[in-house]
């Protein structure tokens, strides 16, 4: 069921020697019907003072293939934002459950680096374990079965061979089915604490950072270990949810709420 078991020791991304702080974002769920959140995301990437930006999954409500940027529209507009952002500072992307089809073509076209899930970020005095978080929600067995299916090379190859309009229609159907599942379950699924500790021990880190659950908080996992949960984004909410987690080379983690 995807990554239900503890992964092997994850890769380590060594921060640049000059990096003093980096920004982490996830769960923006960008789509063409919410241009306010898109504008807030674009504005932050244009103006942030961070030395690098990490996008930890579900940046897009759905990504149906890198060829979507070949047609004028919302996907191409997002690609342009990524292209401009990576020209200013290093940009990193980790797959979520909505945008797992972001591939090497988009990464090359936009100049960002795809990361494995999970990846250890070594920044200054601290090591942080970065993951989207969905593979750790062990109680959501239906989702984990679905995750294993859509992450398989066979499923992805078959899906990407379909015409773009058909893929877009299928993505809408999957989103609707996901929403019905969450409504029925009360969206109760959360990260399994024991597995999170196992991942941290395997990675030789004490702090995990993830998104996916839309429950921004900090959890004590015992013996000095903890996990920090990123916020989702919604510029139209009251109050707006436009939060960035900023990590510093001295080991601090600060939540920054952006203006709507």
Q: Please check whether residue 7 lies inside any domain of the structure.
A: no
Task: Identify the pLDDT of residue 2.
Answer: 43
User: What is the band of 1 on the pLDDT scale with cuts at 50, 70, 90?
Assistant: very low
Q: Are strands 207-210 and 225-229 parallel, antiparallel or unpaired?
A: parallel
Q: Read off the pLDDT band of 3 (50, 70, 90).
A: very low
Query: Total domain count for the chain?
Result: 1
Contacts (Cβ under 8 Å, ≥6 apart) of 96: 26, 27, 56, 57, 58, 59, 132, 134, 211, 212
Neighbouring residues of 15: CB distance < 8 A, sequence distance ≥ 6: 22, 51, 52, 121, 122, 123, 124, 249
Q: Does 186 score more than 70 pLDDT? A: no
What does the pLDDT average to over 157-186? 81
Place of tokens 């900023």: 246
Considering the domain boundaries, does residue 4 fall inside one? no
Instruction: Return the DSSP state at 212.
Output: S
Name the residue range of residue 221's domain: 12-257
pLDDT of the residue at 172: 87
> What pLDDT was estimated at residue 182?
58
Distances (CA, A) of 246 to 137, 166, 179, 250: 25, 39, 30, 12
Give the span between the Cα atoms of 101 and 248, in whole angstroms. Answer: 30
pLDDT per residue as tens digits for the range 92-106: 999 999 999 999 999
Task: For residue range 111-134, list pLDDT tens digits in order.
Answer: 999 999 999 999 998 999 999 999
Q: Is residue 180 included in any domain, yes or no?
A: yes
Q: Taking 50 as the threshold, does the pLDDT of residue 166 lie above it?
A: yes
For CA atoms 205, 17, 242, 73, give the dihedral sign: negative
> Mean of the per-residue pLDDT values for the chain?
93
User: Is 216 a member of any domain?
Assistant: yes
**Residue 102 contacts residue 117 (beta carbons within 8 Å):** no
Tell me: pLDDT of 185 over 80.
no
Does the pLDDT at position 165 exceed 70?
Answer: yes
Examine residue 142 and state whether it is found in any structural domain, yes or no: yes
Name which of 220, 192, 248 is nearest 6 in CA terms. Answer: 192
Nearest Cα neighbor of 209 from 118, 87, 80, 86 is 118
Residue 3 lies in a domain: no
Answer yes or no: is 204 within a domain. Answer: yes
Could you tell me if residue 135 is inside a domain?
A: yes
What CATH number did the domain enclosing 203 receive? 3.60.21.10
Of the candidates 64, 62, 57, 63, the one whose C-alpha atom is nearest the C-alpha of residue 27 is 57
- Neighbouring C-beta atoms of residue 33, cutoff 10 Å: 8
pLDDT given for residue 184 in this prediction: 55
More confident residue, 148 or 4: 148
Q: Which residue has the tokens 């990554």?
A: 3
pLDDT tens readout for residues 217-249: 999 999 999 999 999 999 999 999 999 999 999
Percentage of residues of the chain with pLDDT beyond 90:
87
């Amino acid at each position: 069921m995807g990554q239900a078991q503890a992964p092997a020791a994850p890769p380590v991304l060594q921060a640049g020697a000059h990096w003093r702080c980096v920004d982490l974002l996830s769960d923006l769920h960008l789509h063409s019907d919410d241009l306010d959140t898109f504008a807030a995301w674009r504005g932050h990437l244009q103006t942030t003072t961070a030395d690098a930006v990490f996008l930890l999954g579900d940046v897009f409500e759905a990504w149906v293939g890198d060829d979507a940027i070949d047609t004028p529209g919302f996907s191409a507009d997002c690609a342009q934002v990524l292209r401009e952002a990576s020209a200013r500072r290093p940009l990193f992307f980790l797959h979520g459950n909505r945008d797992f089809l972001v591939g090497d073509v988009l990464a090359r076209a936009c100049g960002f680096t795809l990361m494995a899930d999970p990846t250890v970020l070594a920044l200054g005095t601290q090591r942080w374990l970065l993951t989207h978080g969905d593979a750790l929600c062990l109680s959501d067995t239906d989702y984990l079965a679905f995750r294993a299916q859509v992450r398989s090379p066979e499923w992805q190859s078959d899906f990407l061979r379909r015409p773009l309009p058909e893929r877009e229609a299928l993505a809408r159907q999957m989103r609707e089915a996901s929403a019905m599942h969450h409504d029925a379950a009360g969206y109760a699924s959360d990260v399994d604490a024991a597995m999170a500790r196992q991942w941290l021990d395997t990675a030789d880190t004490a702090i995990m950072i993830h998104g996916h659950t839309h429950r921004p908080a900090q959890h004590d996992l015992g013996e000095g270990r903890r996990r920090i949960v990123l916020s989702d984004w919604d510029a139209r909410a009251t109050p707006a949810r436009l939060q960035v987690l900023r990590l510093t080379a001295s080991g601090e983690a600060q939540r920054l709420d952006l203006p709507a």
